[in-house]
Amino acid sequence: MAAVLTNISYCLTNPEDDLRQFDIYYPEPSKSTEESQSQSSSSLICFIHGGAWRSEDKRDHEQTARNLVKATGCPVAVPNYRLTPRNNTDPAFFHPMHVLDMLQFLSFIRGWKPAPSSNGASADGHRAFNSNSLILLGHSCSAHMLASVFLHNPDSRLAPSPELASAVKAIVFSEGIFDIDLLLARFPDYRGWFVEAAFGAAPSFDEYSVVKYPLLSRGSSSPISWLVLHSKGDTLVDQSQSDAMFAHLLDIAGPENVSLNVDSLKEEHNDILATDTYANLVGDFVKKHVH
């Protein structure tokens, strides 16, 4: 079973805030020197949970993280971020609060090293990872969050540092929300359920449509590899969201850097995450595209 360190703060100004902490799962250390060295230089997978910007917790995704460790051989970090209260009208809890937390986490973890005896576990050599090789997984609303940073957002607060931008090698979206107006056309009740709480009341949310954002400049870094997943069994977010993002990525990133799979997953919106199929799709993608 994967080793785990839990409740690690990425917010130095408020380390007790459990909504700005993360857990990290590791492959079991190998007794082989060659395999141990390979583990210590592996990519880091960061799974960002969904929940309509208002719910879920990193602990809900322990099985997903363990499956991903097994399928990829990489450590997997699962962060929390601050959530929007139900029926919220306070702009402090509007977008991009959640994205800023995620950006803080990603910036933090690139320089993070586990302290000896943290949560009762020693900082063994196998607990290292390559901080210049990040694989980011976004599900549902967190797919929108990742796209808000790693496509070129007009909001300068959400620009990643050049170092972080170049460290991201691959991004996987599953059951993503990308175009909120398109989502509301299909599910109008979502406006009162969670959209206005997270974005404020507005006749249109076109400015937050990440399927209109251009490609982020990465200097001389190699292009990001993108995978868009959608389940045929999802009744909460329809496939038009993933189709729109896939078409946009094809246009701006090119077919050599973008993949789509809408055939392999059959389960409901969140149920896909605990399946071996989801983990294996990510694992196969990582092995093919991340070196």
Task: Give the pLDDT confidence score for residue 190 in this predicted structure.
Answer: 98
- Residue-wise pLDDT tens digits, 184-211: 999 999 999 999 999 999 999 999 999 9
d(CA 101, CA 97): 6
Instruction: Collect all residues with Cβ–Cβ distance below 8 Å to 261 and sequence separation of at least 6.
Output: 227, 228, 229, 230, 281
> Residues 21-50: what's their mean pLDDT?
78
> Residues 223-236: what's their mean pLDDT?
98
Cα separation values, 3 from 67, 157, 202, Å? 13, 35, 45
Task: Give the pLDDT confidence score for residue 199 in this predicted structure.
Answer: 98
> Is the per-residue pLDDT at 164 higher than 90?
yes
Task: Give the pLDDT confidence score for residue 29 in this predicted structure.
Answer: 75
> Is the per-residue pLDDT at 158 higher than 70?
yes
> Is the per-residue pLDDT at 120 higher than 70?
no
Task: Give the pLDDT confidence score for residue 30 in this predicted structure.
Answer: 64
> Is the per-residue pLDDT at 270 higher than 70?
yes
Task: Give the pLDDT confidence score for residue 256 in this predicted structure.
Answer: 97
> Is the per-residue pLDDT at 68 higher than 70?
yes
Share of the chain above pLDDT 70, in %: 91
Task: Give the pLDDT confidence score for residue 123 in this predicted structure.
Answer: 46
CATH code of 134's domain? 3.40.50.1820
Whether the Cβ atoms of residue 151 and residue 213 lie closer than 8 Å to each other = yes
Number of structural domains the chain divides into: 1
Q: Which domain holds residue 204?
A: 3-289
Mean pLDDT for the chain overall: 93
**What pTM was computed for the model?**
0.94
